[in-house]
Structure 1
Amino acid sequence: MVPKDWNPVYLNDIADKIMVGIASAATHAYADNGIRMLRNLNIKEGFIDDSDILFVNEEYELQHKNKRLKAGDILTVRTGYPGLSAVVPKKYDNAQCFTSLITRLKEDVALPDYICRFINSEYGKKYISSGEAGGAQKNVNASILKKMLIPLPPLSEQRKIAKILSTWDKAISTTERLIENSKQQKKALMQQLLTGKKRLLDDSGKPFEGAWEEVKLSKVADAVMGSSPKSSSYNESSEGLPLIQGNADIKNRKSAPRIYTSEVTKKCSVGDILLSVRAPVGTIAKSEHVACIGRGISAISAKKHHVQEYLYQWLLWFEPRWEKYSQGSTFEAVNSNDIKSLYLIVPTYTEQAKIASVLSNADQEIELLEQQLADLKQEKKALMQQLLTGKKRVKI
């Protein structure tokens, strides 16, 4: 039940027009400057990402002048992530868009920001997904969008709801920037600490001294190559051990096995470093399970007098360098010899421990921020569900 002063309307009833942007090929008209062209990849949930804007020449654009955007238009992705919507800001007034749906609302009936939020809400997403057309490539068309039923509050309440939700958007955006900054700072710190360009202080307060040793990975760690059990042994009844086959069984750099195997071939222990040995090669994670490892994984553990966390951080730093290590060739897998013959430089055990502690703390700070972000998004989602349906009213 919606509040009595709310008016359930179809989107088509409050829109001047709902049309598709330019659908003809534009590659021949791309230019270094001219008329801006927004594509699906520029449309994010609630905002326009202008990090990769294309331009088309004016001659081409004039052929489609009836499609020009106005500030306040709502753009909705048709394919790929159908339903994802954002409001066109003033800076893109008179720009063009490629294949997205354009909704232009009637004046003084509904706020674009409010309607856009409704389309992006759980209700809007479920409605669009239930009406998606197409096979493997899902899409939403104008006729589906026109029939979206929206419980519409008075304009004053729309403004207040949009303002409240924008506060959450700002908190989410701020946290996302903090996460990105923290990741960049950690990346720079890894480059300095794991190459010896920056030395930390020892327990006496003096910088560590002495040359680092260049060694093969086999000297400082043991690497166990996985071996896949027979598929007939796979089960979901917890019989045997969890099975880690490859990247599909890793989430947020931690093991996340999906099935079990009653036939155990090779094993990893809790705390082992998991290295993907098949495309994409080099992805690093930590095992949180005693598990069976398939042929897509190698389990690595530091030898005595070497620090496991240091080795984990070094392999993280080296992760994007695997292609260069392979001399630039396109490779689908690495073998035991490739891993064991990998060269790295290592300081003393004490310095390894110090470096590992600093980088591990940086990871924990990032994880804390990421958890805060997840909480904010979940809280905003719950609030949207209440505000956009009238279950929770706001004071005007």
Structure 2
Amino acid sequence: MVPNGWKLTSLGEICSGNLQTGPFGSQLHAHEYTDEGVPVLMPKDLIGYRANNASAAKIPEHRADDLKKHTLRSGDLLFSRRGDVARFALIESDYPRSLCGTGCLKATPNKAHSPLFLSYFLQKNAVKKWLEQNAVGQTMPNMNTAILTELPLMVASSREEEDKIAKILSTWDKAIAATEKLIETSKHQKKALMQQLLTGKKRLLNPETGKAFEGEWEEVKLGGISEITTGNSNREDSSLDAQYTFFDRSEDIRTSSRYLFDSEAVIVAGEGQDFVPKHFEGKFDLHQRTYAIMNFEKSFGKFLYYYIGYYRHYFLAQAVGSTVKSLRLPMFQKMPISLPIIEEQQKIASVFTVADKEIAALETKLAHFNQEKKALMQQLLTGKCRVKVDDMEVA
């Protein structure tokens, strides 16, 4: 159903036919790309609906002058011409001089419509599905101007209404971007702390003495300070709604109707590519090719969890296999560990635990913002919820 005053149209009509393919290979050759110059944007540079020219290939200024008809301007919409054909980016105001690359298509909306509003509409799942279904080519999907011209759109009653909708949604985007930045900063700070605290370069304050912890760290093997074992369960033994947590190599959260262990443990998959550990306390089931490190001696479980995670390059170096990397029990047992006294371990672990909680809180906040934006898009981009323009509600 089309809301009052809104209109069904197409990208070709919105752009008054102003759609254009990037320069062909005969116009721009690979050997002409340089380290400095004018960025030439390709599909890989279209990230998160924005154009990222930092990673783009570049050409000399004089060649950019030769190809000036491919210059990108504020308000242009840049689409991927091959591969992920649903990928696109909006060229924002004051964007540095850049060109539409060979692998892209450029669409320039007319002045009657808000490019930012259109960019939000293009984020809809229905648009992505249409682009994927209408692309040509079996091995690699391809898009062309003829197809893109027919892309169906629904626009608001006026440029003013579109601008107002875009402004509301962009406010949420700013909150999302700010939260993402905070998460990135928090993770960077945690990594820096790990580099300092897990190597002994920085010592924390000992609450007993009021001074920094002192003394050499003890060099041990993981097998000498813990019990390391695998489970005997298969993935077929797990489900999504049973009572106990089930650990295997997968990222999804599985459960089991039985438990093999009731303990604090550091869990590491025996197969994979990264071997990121998990920390768990309680009853759990374990896959036959997943390892549980338990029953810690002279060591604090949470400290070992962070230590193993930081030094997991040891596992990457030890793993065998070409297609799927695998770990064996002796590799775990022989892992070298530098161990401070238990009180310092606890203090170090508490610092990282606080950092993890802060990151988790920010990630929860980010998920909330994304969900709210999604709900608003559903209301505003369909006209179900109308906005006020010049103090009068558009209805």
Q: State the TM-score bracket (shorter-chain normalisation).
A: 0.7 to 0.9
Partner residue of 2:87 out of 66, 84, 87 = 84
Structure 2 equivalent of residue 162 of structure 1: 166
Percent sequence identity over matched residues?
Answer: 32
1:340 Cα deviation from its structure 2 partner: 0.9
Structure 1 equivalent of residue 344 of structure 2: 351
Structure 1 equivalent of residue 276 of structure 2: 283
1:140 Cα deviation from its structure 2 partner: 4.4
Aligned residues between the structures: 381
5 Å-filtered alignment, 1:129-168, equals: 129-135=132-138, 137-153=140-156, 154-168=158-172
1:8 Cα deviation from its structure 2 partner: 1.6
Matches of 2:37 and 2:2, distance apart in 1 = 47
Q: Please give the secondary structure, in 1, of the residue aligned with 2:54.
A: coil
1:261 touches 1:292 (CA, 8 Å); kept in 2? Answer: no
Matches of 1:235 and 1:371, distance apart in 2 = 27
Q: CA 1:91/1:323 → structure 2, altered by over 3 Å: closer, same or farther?
A: same
Q: CA 1:339/1:239 → structure 2, altered by over 3 Å: closer, same or farther?
A: same
Partner residue of 1:127 out of 106, 127, 130 = 130
Structure 2 equivalent of residue 190 of structure 1: 194
Q: Does 1:75 align with 2:81?
A: no
Aligned partner of 2:325: which letter?
A: E
Matches of 1:82 and 1:97, distance apart in 2 = 14
Matches of 1:345 and 1:385, distance apart in 2 = 53
Matches of 2:240 and 2:186, distance apart in 1 = 41
Moved more, 306-315 or 76-85: 76-85
1:163 Cα deviation from its structure 2 partner: 1.0
Structure 1 equivalent of residue 18 of structure 2: 17
Matches of 1:137 and 1:208, distance apart in 2 = 59
1:183 touches 1:366 (CA, 8 Å); kept in 2? Answer: yes
Q: Does 1:217 align with 2:222?
A: yes
Q: Please give the secondary structure, in 2, of the residue aligned with 1:393.
A: coil
Matches of 1:195 and 1:87, distance apart in 2 = 45
Q: Please give the secondary structure, in 2, of the residue aligned with 1:250.
A: coil
5 Å-filtered alignment, 1:1-396, equals: 1-15=1-15, 16-24=17-25, 26-57=29-60, 64-89=67-92, 90-106=94-110, 108-135=111-138, 137-153=140-156, 154-204=158-208, 205-225=210-230, 229=234, 244-246=247-249, 249-251=250-252, 256-257=253-254, 267=260, 271-287=264-280, 290-295=284-289, 297-320=290-313, 322-323=315-316, 332-396=325-389
Q: Please give the secondary structure, in 1, of the residue aligned with 2:227.
A: strand
Alpha-carbon displacement from aligned partner over 1:331-356 (angstroms, at most 9, x marks no partner): 93332111111111111112111111
Q: CA 1:331/1:391 → structure 2, altered by over 3 Å: closer, same or farther?
A: closer
2:24 touches 2:102 (CA, 8 Å); kept in 1? Answer: yes
Matches of 2:142 and 2:372, distance apart in 1 = 29
1:122 Cα deviation from its structure 2 partner: 3.2
2:226 touches 2:294 (CA, 8 Å); kept in 1? Answer: yes
- TM (norm. structure 2) is 0.85
1:83 touches 1:140 (CA, 8 Å); kept in 2? Answer: no
- TM (norm. structure 1) is 0.84
1:136 Cα deviation from its structure 2 partner: 6.1
Matches of 1:272 and 1:209, distance apart in 2 = 28
Q: CA 1:235/1:358 → structure 2, altered by over 3 Å: closer, same or farther?
A: closer
1:383 Cα deviation from its structure 2 partner: 0.5
Q: CA 1:194/1:131 → structure 2, altered by over 3 Å: closer, same or farther?
A: same
Q: CA 1:115/1:221 → structure 2, altered by over 3 Å: closer, same or farther?
A: same
Q: CA 1:78/1:342 → structure 2, altered by over 3 Å: closer, same or farther?
A: same
